[in-house]
Amino acid sequence: MDKNLGNEPSNINPTIGLIQIPNTIDNSIQDYLEKNNSNIINLDIESNLNYSKIFNTINGILLIYDFIENYNNNIEVKLKKFLTKCIETNIPILCTGNALHILNYCLNGLKPISTPSHSLDNNKSSYHRIFIPPGSKLAAILGSGGFVRVNSRHSYSITEVQKSSDLIASAYSLDDGIIEAIESPENIFIIAVQFNPERRGEIPPHFDKLFTSFIKACKKAQNGVY
């Protein structure tokens, strides 16, 4: 009897859409993702993206929003539009840095508040300790919850007041209780961290599991399994 090939799991690596802001970030995270069995398509949010073509191609989206010297509202408007479409399409989403605020906004959260103590001038990372509650998706991915030291490159933040009711907090700053990670309680992989794990030399190596877990989620999405 002939097999129904359309229902068989794909042996092809999942395709991840990668948006990096600023787009001058080096290729180290792309190289890491590709070495861990994923294909990468770089997306320029400032161009006219073909949504239909993109969402027929990608199995997940990684949005890296690092420190930028000059705020660009036009970029954020386009990011919010694109990420809202990602949520509607029900694909895995991983956000880092300031992209946490974009995700929170897309799910009806409030604007972030100013927290200049969480960043340094001249595009340098500061560091602080955060607490990851056991039982969160983030803790499960990393292998444990607890206290950990991470980089910090943001000057805006959210608290429980600004957080979307559709998301749960999965990490907090020990210094002031600022939320450092959020995630969807639903089955789909939607996680945002306010630190920057793509700067792999600045945080503990077990945070690489965040990316490998994301790749696995994209593989499941590719095969129609969530």
Sign of the alpha-carbon dihedral angle for 22, 33, 192, 201: negative
Considering the domain boundaries, does residue 210 fall inside one? Answer: yes
Considering the domain boundaries, does residue 167 fall inside one? Answer: yes
Considering the domain boundaries, does residue 5 fall inside one? Answer: no
Q: Three-state secondary structure along the chain?
A: CCCCHHHCCCCCCCEEEEEEECCCCCCHHHHHHHHCCCEEEECCCCCCCCHHHHHCCCCEEEEEECCCCCCCHHHHHHHHHHHHHHHHHCCCEEEEECHHHHHHHHCCCCCCEECHHHCCCCCCCEEEEEEECCCCHHHHHHCCCEEEEEEECCCEEECCCCCCCCCEEEEEECCCCCEEEEECCCCCCEEEECCCCCCHHHCCHHHHHHHHHHHHHHHHHHCCCC
Residue 69: predicted pLDDT:
59
**Tally of domains within the chain:** 1
Considering the domain boundaries, does residue 215 fall inside one? Answer: yes
Considering the domain boundaries, does residue 127 fall inside one? Answer: yes
Residue 32: predicted pLDDT:
96
pLDDT, tens digit (0-9, with 9 covering 90-100), for 141-167: 999 999 999 999 878 999 999 999 999
Considering the domain boundaries, does residue 3 fall inside one? Answer: no
Residue 20: predicted pLDDT:
94
Residue 1: predicted pLDDT:
33
pTM over 0.75: yes
Residue 116: predicted pLDDT:
65
Considering the domain boundaries, does residue 4 fall inside one? Answer: no
Which residues of the chain fall short of a pLDDT of 70?
Answer: 1-10, 24-26, 67-71, 116-122
Considering the domain boundaries, does residue 9 fall inside one? Answer: no
Residue 120: predicted pLDDT:
55
**46: domain CATH number?**
3.40.50.880
What's the domain range around 161?
A: 14-222
